[in-house]
Amino acid sequence: MLLPPNLRLTMKRALLCIVSLSLTTLTSPAAEIHLAQGILAGEITPTTAILQTRLTASPGLIARDVAGAPGVGRFEIGTSESLENAHQTPWITATPERDFILKAHVDGLRPNTQYHYRVLYGPDAARTKPGPAGRFRTLPGPGAAAPVNFILTSCLNYAFFHEGTKGQPAYSGEDRHLGYPALDAVLRLQPDFCIFDGDCVYYDHPVATRAQTQAELRKKWHEQYVQERFVKLFARVPTYWLKDDHDHRKNDSDATGNYEPAHELGIATFREQVPVVNPADPQAVTYRTLRMGRDLQLWFVEGRDYRSPNRMPDGPAKSIWGAAQKAWLQRTLKESDATFKILVSPTPLVGPDDASKLDNHVNPLGFRHEGEAFLAWLKDNGIAPGRFYIICGDRHWKYHSVHPSGYEELTCGALNRENSRMGRAPGDPQSTDPRALVRQIYTDATPSGGFLRVAVQPAAAGQAARIEFTQHDDGGKVLHTHAKSTP
């Protein structure tokens, strides 16, 4: 049958359109897949690292989320900035089950060596392009006399920063879309690494729209870490991660309670979203210790996975850490010959804190028995004050306190000013220390965001090894410094 000319022309155009769409699908460039959240390296040791990125469907935030994109990727890593002769990881597939995250554990690295890395990514292995480059330095080996300089931060409240809260307006600077200004101050200090010590996102803020499902939990991570200042920081500074209550379930969370998100989902989402454990090892624990040269060893403790119910009466059976973690902590502390030992805890062991809480080691109705017993154990086992320190997050003010036993604790406070408050002082009847047994060397005079910097200098040329703690506000201004050398 002979078709009318106008119909033949219409069908020809339709056929050309179909062919054009098919060719577009077949030759779609990798640029249609983005890396809106950048790249990051984490859990650096002298010989290993975890590299991570996420394939996204857009270059930035859309409707307070960043949708993922299916595709593939592989990391390149080497000591040359040009990545000539770089090692390549196997191809990794970005799937919705893993939130389109690409994560690789790399080993065989050299201690105290700068590495460069990037991801090759695209819709499939035949159509890829290189992403932006990042860099990190592996840790010095246990016997190396090497300086170490790092940052501790916590309590990163996206909702308070962008929307404000009662009595505290949102950040109003024209650069708000870039994220927290404190991150620029961190980058200027050129730290070897940055520790995010819990409350890395807030699932329960804003309260009216708190995250409960897996998709909602993931969205909190997307909107937080797509901010440009994070992307810039992560490309240059490697990271270590701990979780606390707000990035577990909700304020002062434990494993009990019939509410969402479930305890197990909170644990799984944290392990998924940050480079904290080897992705090939589902049994890996999130408590660990890292030796950073001859003079420094850090212990990262897990405060949510194994804890007893908060409302359980305090006593020897009640624990934040659980029996296995506590035994590991005590054993590895006794084995260590590092000059300085630092416990990195999401929550305090010295304080003071609010008396009304049940959540941590300084709360009388919380877990004080375990906290006091641990400090007594340190003394009994010859782990002396001045050689052992506690640094913690969780509290939204910065302080430097000394326990009656002599052990010192320094906090980083909240990263952003909009999430900060005045603290509790020794002797305050509403504090955990109404009798003023704790000696407080420093506390914020006014609410201030910021972070804690720790620097260790090895012994050299007749000079003793030295450790220095510096608390900064969110603009980088020095608020308090404390230094100590070995005898």
Q: Which of 51, 48, 79 is nearest to 141 (CA)?
A: 48
In this predicted model, what pLDDT tens digit does every residue of 317-333 receive, in sequence order?
999 999 999 999 999 99
- Write out the two tokens for 398: 């910065």
Q: Which of 189, 191, 217, 190 is nearest to 202 (CA)?
A: 217
Q: Is 134 left (phi over 0), alpha (psi -120 to 50) or beta?
A: beta
In this predicted model, what pLDDT tens digit does every residue of 360-380 receive, in sequence order?
999 999 999 999 999 999 999
Q: Which of 207, 55, 77 is nearest to 134 (CA)?
A: 77
Q: What percent of the chain has pLDDT over 70?
A: 94
Average pLDDT per block of 10 residues along the chain, 487 residues long: 40 38 38 92 99 98 96 98 96 99 99 98 97 98 96 98 93 97 99 99 96 99 99 99 99 97 99 98 98 98 99 98 99 98 99 97 98 99 98 98 99 98 98 98 98 96 94 98 93
Phi and psi at residue 439, to the nearest 5°: -100, 125
Burial of residue 453 (CB within 10 Å: 0-12, 13-18, 19+) is buried
113 contacts: CB under 8 Å, gap ≥ 6: 79, 137, 138
Question: How far is Cα 466 from Cα 340, in angstroms, rounded to an integer?
Answer: 9
State residue 34's pLDDT score: 98
In this predicted model, what pLDDT tens digit does every residue of 13-23 receive, in sequence order?
443 333 333 33
Q: Which of 74, 126, 60, 70 is nearest to 103 (CA)?
A: 74
Q: Which of 161, 263, 165, 255 is nearest to 212 (CA)?
A: 263
State residue 461's pLDDT score: 81
Question: How far is Cα 484 from Cα 487, in angstroms, rounded to an integer?
Answer: 9
- Tell me if 82 sits within 8 A of 97, measured CB to CB: no
Tell me how far CA of residue 262 lies from CA of 185, 258, 267, 338, in angstroms: 36, 8, 9, 39
Strand 92-94 relative to strand 71-78: parallel, antiparallel, unpaired?
antiparallel
Strand stretches in 168-230, DSSP E? 193-197
Tell me how far CA of residue 445 lies from CA of 207, 421, 425, 431, 480, in angstroms: 29, 10, 11, 17, 11
Question: How far is Cα 27 from Cα 255, in angstroms, rounded to an integer?
Answer: 49
State residue 309's pLDDT score: 99
Question: How far is Cα 409 from Cα 60, in angstroms, rounded to an integer?
Answer: 39
State residue 460's pLDDT score: 86
265 contacts: CB under 8 Å, gap ≥ 6: 214, 217
Burial of residue 172 (CB within 10 Å: 0-12, 13-18, 19+) is exposed
| Residue 477 burial (CB count, 10 A) | 11
Q: What is the pTM of this model?
A: 0.93
In this predicted model, what pLDDT tens digit does every residue of 259-271 receive, in sequence order?
999 999 999 999 9
Q: Which of 289, 285, 286, 280 is nearest to 336 (CA)?
A: 289
DSSP element (H, E) containing 454: strand 450-457
Q: Which domains does the chain have, with CATH numbers?
A: 30-137 (2.60.40.380), 148-485 (3.60.21.70)
In this predicted model, what pLDDT tens digit does every residue of 44-58 receive, in sequence order?
999 999 999 999 999
State residue 421's pLDDT score: 97
